[in-house]
Amino acid sequence: MVFEKKAVHFGGGNIGRGFVAEFLHNSGYEVVFIDVMDKIIEALQNTPHYTVTEIGDDGERTFDINHYRAINSKYEMARVVEEIATADVVTCAVGPNILKFIAEPVAKGIEARTLDYPLAVIACENAINATTTWKSFITSYIETKLNKHTLDILDTKARFANSAIDRIVPHQDPDAGLNVKIEKFFEWCVEHPPFEGAVQPDIKGVHFVDDLQPYIERKLFTVNTSHATAAYYGYNRGKPLIHDAMTDPEIHDIITTEDQNDYVEKIVTRISNPALEDKVERVGRAPLRKLSRNERFIGPAAHLAEMGDSCEHLLGAVEMALRFQNVEGDEESFELSKILKELNAKDATTKITGLDASHPLFDRVEKIVAKVQKSSSL
């Protein structure tokens, strides 16, 4: 394989190594990993290659990932900026809450760019319009800390495209090192319109679409909602693994009742796969984010409530998520417990969900919050 293109990727975790880097590597990009975790960066720097194993119903296949470098942005920010200034693509898989912290190097790299084609900036996060969010932090940094003129010519220096990623990366073996097990099924959709008049990045397996919204909402409100629902019901019923939860007939029915179509059935089959062994605590982590206004439970439930349709199964999952408290290793679960203890039901509902008190869903969620608060205090 000939590597002539360069991609800078923020995040050396399993999604970064096992999904994004696999696609970029197989498309002929040299991948430059950026992270602040010393252990991950040192491992990448000292290991010339690692293996990605795709797991499916029809068995496994492996890919050898090599021709990458790794930089710790905590110590070598100037190098990171230089890499971005000379890259073809910049991606990230760091979590939506971290986007503001990785805006500075991208802003500086864009300003320093002298190539005659724009950089492709694509966030690979489980959030709606994550690249747009990242862009807002980047442009704000340019406007307040760098040369404002860069904003006038921004289209010549960078193009920002939202994306929707869909691939399950389960709990990894404790001795896996850099190797990653990953689901064989994948979907990576990227907006095409931002690249009009510029070179669209050549990444094998990416589906470029004119309208991303249906894809990202389908993924977030079906795949992520189903996965998290299985986790929260499983956690509250003492099921250690996701596929254990899915063998419970009641949990299975709760997840599938909403819409018996081919897509949902495929999702149920995927998250029921015992080969993708995954702990309910890992899938359920960050309950505050998952209970926020535009996320996988409140987002679709609010839409259904606005239309006057039933959202009982989603509200059941909301209750299970609210009971995901004080889980070791998950800071948000402790913060959730604190909110429910310190605030009354109405204020807690507002803080957790972001719903306006006048919204048709608010009173129903408030009752659930009050119910959880009462049972937690017993």
Catalytically annotated residues: 219
How many CA atoms does the CB half-sphere of 24 hold within 13 Å?
Answer: 30
- Cβ density class 202-236: b for 16+ within 10 Å, e for less: ebeebebbeebeebbbbbbbbbbbbbbbbbbbbbb
Q: Tokens standing for 263?
A: 């897509």
Q: Half-sphere exposure of 261 toward its Cβ, with a 13 Å CA cutoff?
A: 5
Task: Report how far residue 376's alpha carbon sits from residue 111's, in angstroms, rounded to the nearest whole number.
Answer: 52
Backbone φ, ψ for residue 89 (5° rounding)? -140, 145
Rounded to 10 degrees, the C-alpha dihedral 360/365/366/370 comes to: 160
**Percent of the chain that is helix, strand, coil (3-state, to 5):** 50, 15, 35
Read off the DSSP letter of residue 124: -
| Contact (CB, 8 A) for 126 and 220 | yes
